[in-house]
Amino acid sequence: AQSVTQPDIHITVSEGASLELRCNYSYGATPYLFWYVQSPGQGLQLLLKYFSGDTLVQGIKGFEAEFKRSQSSFNLRKPSVHWSDAAEYFCAVGARYGQNFVFGPGTRLSVLP
């Protein structure tokens, strides 16, 4: 069965510091991988996605993620965090075809001034 884990429930970083959010997945076929962000009281917004090819993908708002097949990971990174990045971040995995995802439990990011 497919599953997604995000080991960190809550992370706090200082503004300007670098960020890495972890995501591990279990999936029987080639996965399609996604990161979403949810600002307080809002729906989810797609940050980036990985389908195939270059394992380092760039997204919106200065985020990037790296797919590592050997580690079944798809970690999200940002070199310098801004206060507006405070939000909850969800990793998700889906099939190449077929429209259902499995979402991770989310990681809440707090940013200190």
Partner 1 sequence: DVKVTQSSRYLVKRTGEKVFLECVQDMDHENMFWYRQDPGLGLRLIYFSYDVKMKEKGDIPEGYSVSREKKERFSLILESASTNQTSMYLCASSFGGLRQVPNYGYTFGSGTRLTVV
Task: Indicate the residue type of 71.
Answer: Q
C-alpha to C-alpha distance for 15 and 33, rounded to whole angstroms? 27
CB of residue 87 vs partner 1: minimum separation in angstroms?
Answer: 13
Q: Work out whether 97 is an interface residue with partner 1 (CB under 8 A).
A: yes
x/- letters, 55..84, toward partner 1 (CB under 8 A): ------------------------------
CB contact burial 18-33 (16+ within 10 A = b; e otherwise): ebebbbbbebeeebbb
Minimum Å gap between C-beta 32 and partner 1 is 5
Site residues for partner 1, window 13-42 (CB under 8 A)? Answer: 32, 34, 36, 41-42
Pairing of strands 107-112, 10-14: parallel
